[in-house]
Each structure stands twice: as structure tokens, then as C-alpha cells.
Chains A and B, each alone.
Chain A
């Protein structure tokens, strides 16, 4: 009899190694399997969420295509890829939607903006932000109608030097007690309009 046999199974190093390895292997296998099974549905859900966001800024009767299907890929001013979703009706571009990012008091403010082919804002909504509740969160459409006031504006309306919050000498209201948040949103929308001006031709071209 070797002394090894006297050691209880649970205390043997090889057993422990195999146990830990087996656990990790089973966990990995499970994760792989479930990831495989859920990848399709998750992508599908994401698409539906996106469609919902798009529907907030582009009225249904303005387009007859699936806007999510074939996004246009452009390069943003920061070198990152920008996905532009085109709304078309009877083969003509009627709406352009993409996401623009501003930097507020507490990190990124992601905003979705929709323009008509002339560059007028069809609508804009804040998708996500981390601004202070009760102060900066008035940029949400659910809390305040501030964000809806951009509808109908464009790069020249108001004039270039008015695309600022009132505190900076522009025409947009800031909220009492919070200037940084609306400033960030106004700035990012303004940048989006400039982005449109720079890429107008590409954006208005209908993809086959």
C-alpha cells in the first residue's frame, strides 16, 4: 500500500486540479452554448430597440423602408465610424438618422438626431446619459419638453453664433442650476448639423 491511497480523495492535489478544471470547462461549455443560442435573438432585440428609437424621431408616414436594414457607414470627425440610417419613401431619401455624442457633467450624453434632406431637424432624443437626477436629466423627453424645441431648426436657423445656450450668448435655454448639460447637448447637435453639411452628398445618395 502506498501512502497516497490513505490520503482522502478530496485532499489529493490531482483531484483538486481536475475538479477546478472540470468546473471551468463545464462553465465555458455552458457559456458557449447559451451564447450561441442567444446571439441571434439578442441581435434581433437590439434591432427592435433601435427601430423604436428611430420611430421616436422619424414619423412612420415619412418612410416606407426598413431604416435599420442598410445603414450607411461614414467616418466621423473623431475618426470613428458613424452609422447613418436612411429613411426613404418611393425611392427618395426623406430622413437621415444617426447618433451624436456630447460630453456632459458626468460623461457621455448619447443623442439620436433625425434630419430631413434639407438639413432641418425632424426630431432629436437623448438615448442615454448619466447627468444629475433632478437637474441635468431635463434633457430627457419624459422629464421636460426642452429637447423637442430643436425640431425644425437647422444649421443656419438660428444663425451660427446663436447655436449656444443663453449663458454663452446663444438662444437656447439652459436649466436653472445646470448649464453644462444643455451646453453639451447643444454642442453635439450643432456638430451633427455640421457633419451633415460636410457629408450631404454621400448621405442623400440612395443605396441600392
Chain B
């Protein structure tokens, strides 16, 4: 399917289709939990978003005269819709899902030339576009009891924004075990930290993703959170909150690791992850929105070509500078 650039190659046995399938398997536990938690509205939004993505992909392929069946069956449109649905508020109206699907596939992916060509993570393009356009619908959350209420991060932001100290309202925050299990309000798929971690480990075990991005993203974010919390625990929330509330784990394992829009080399991925972690912390703490995973990933997506330019993977048979290896003369270090 793709062009061979230089030989020799071995086949990893992976195809786009099987990769997408494994990611979906990894996402399934957290998704099923989210659908169970938020019930019927979440289920219908989930289906509408995925169907919308498939429809948009089919339309775009048809218009551009590409084989519809071949590209549609690789499952990438379904996965985009799936990730988008997981990042939406579970009770968002149906048209949010449908419009988001079209934004993701057409603006986020097909205008760049389809699978493998997009510069930005399509699901996050759609999420940010929706968030900017429909702030009301995109920030109306429900708690697990179906009562409307702010997310954990949003709640902290509002309270500290009014000058209240964190210790004065700790009682109104969910417990660590609730956040870990996912018994909190939030986007459809971001609530259960344990299940997301499980899915992430599955992806690592199946070698769909490498450890670099999740580890450097989480490491940077948690290090910053720890240091700032130690400096002033009354203003800056603790490490647990940053790890377990919001989209931290969903983003670290499933969104930032998108193969198309993240750097290729290990060093590049470490930088990419660290950049995401830093931006997430900065946006959560000082910017206008309580959660910043989508913005952080998009901003780092924009830097990815630059990172790839400076941190290229070693070419087989050459050293890091691109010179041919010459073992016979013994000159190579």
C-alpha cells in the first residue's frame, strides 16, 4: 500500500486495519463504563458521532474520486469518531456530535489529503472547534447522578478564581478513589482513570504505541503539579487531581500518541510528550479554560514537523549524522 523508501524491511505484521482494531479494543472498557455511567444520551451521541464520521469520510472520498470501500474499511474514521465522542460532554445535543464528526473528517483530515497526511489530530480539531463555537453546549456537564454540575477541574478553577483557598472547599471535591474509578462528571470517556490506564498498558503490550509520549507527558505534568502544589497548596491542586481528573490519561495514551501527528523518533516523542504535559499544566492553571489537553495536543501537533526535522530516526546502515557505516576501517565510534 505505501511506498518502500529504502530496504531492507521486515513486515511487522501490522496493518492500518489491525492497528485501529487494537486501539478500539483498548478503548472499549473505558467507553463501556462511560456509556453505562451516563446512559442513553451518551449511547446515542456515541453512535451518532461515529456514524457521522463514517458518512463524512465516505462523502469526502467519493467527491475526491478515491476508492470509498478500501479507505473506509481501514477503520480510521470509526476511531476518529470514537475518540471525538469520548471527549464530548455525554449530554451534548445530537447535532454537536454530527457537526463535530464532519469537522473532524473534512477540516481535520480529508482537506490535508486523507489518512496519514493530516497535520493535526482530527478528533481534537473538532473538539476545539466545537468548544469555541458552542461554549454553552460544550461546557454543560452532568455528575454521575445525572445532576448538572461542573467537572472537577472546572469547579476548582471557579473557586480559586474567586480567591477561595483549595483547603476551604476540599470537601466538595470527589475523593481519589472516585476519581480513579471514574465516579465523577466529565467527558464521556475520560472519567475512569483505572480503565484508561488498563487500555494504555494494553496498547504498550501490543506495541501499538511506545512508552515515550505517555511517560514524558505524564512525567512533566505531574512534576509541575507536584512542585507547584508544594510551593502553595492553597492555590495549586495536588498531583492526584491533575492525574485522575480531566482528560490526562485519555490524552496521554490515546490522543497524544496518534501515529500520524506525533514525531517519529524516540527523542522527538519525548520532547513532544513533555511539551504536551507543560502546555496542559499551563492552560489548566493560568489560561481561560479549566482543561487544556485538546489545545496542548494541537499546539504540539503544529510543532511536530519541526521536531521531526531536528530529531530524525537513524537510517538503517548509517550513523546518526546520516554517514554510511564503515566497520572495516574501524573509524566509526
Contacts and interface: CB of A to CB of B under 8 A. Distances in A.
Query: In the complex, are there CB atoms of A and B closer than 8 Å?
Result: yes
A177 B139 contact: yes
B162 A135 contact: no
Interface in A152-190: 167-169, 176-178
A75 B133 CA distance: 41
A169 B135 contact: no
Nearest to B139: A177
B136 A177 contact: yes
A191 B147 CA distance: 37
Interface size class of B (residues with CB under 8 A): under 10
Contact of B162 (A168, A177, A178): A168
A160 B139 CA distance: 30
B158 to A, nearest CB: 7
A135 B135 contact: yes
Contacts, number: 9
Contact of B136 (A167, A168, A169, A176): A176
Main SS at interface, chain B = helix
- Most chain B CB inside 10 Å of its own CB: which residue of A135, A167, A168, A177: A177
B158 A177 contact: no
A167 B157 CA distance: 12
A178 B135 contact: yes
Contacts of B135: 135, 177-178
Nearest to A105: B288
A177 B134 CA distance: 8
Interface string B119-150: 00000000000000001100100000000000
Contacts of B162: 168-169
Nearest to A169: B162
A105 B136 CA distance: 16
Nearest to B135: A177
| Chain A to chain B: the 6 pairs with minimum beta-carbon distance, closest first | A177-B135, A177-B136, A176-B136, A168-B162, A135-B135, A167-B158
9 contacts: A135-B135, A167-B158, A168-B162, A169-B162, A176-B136, A177-B135, A177-B136, A177-B139, A178-B135
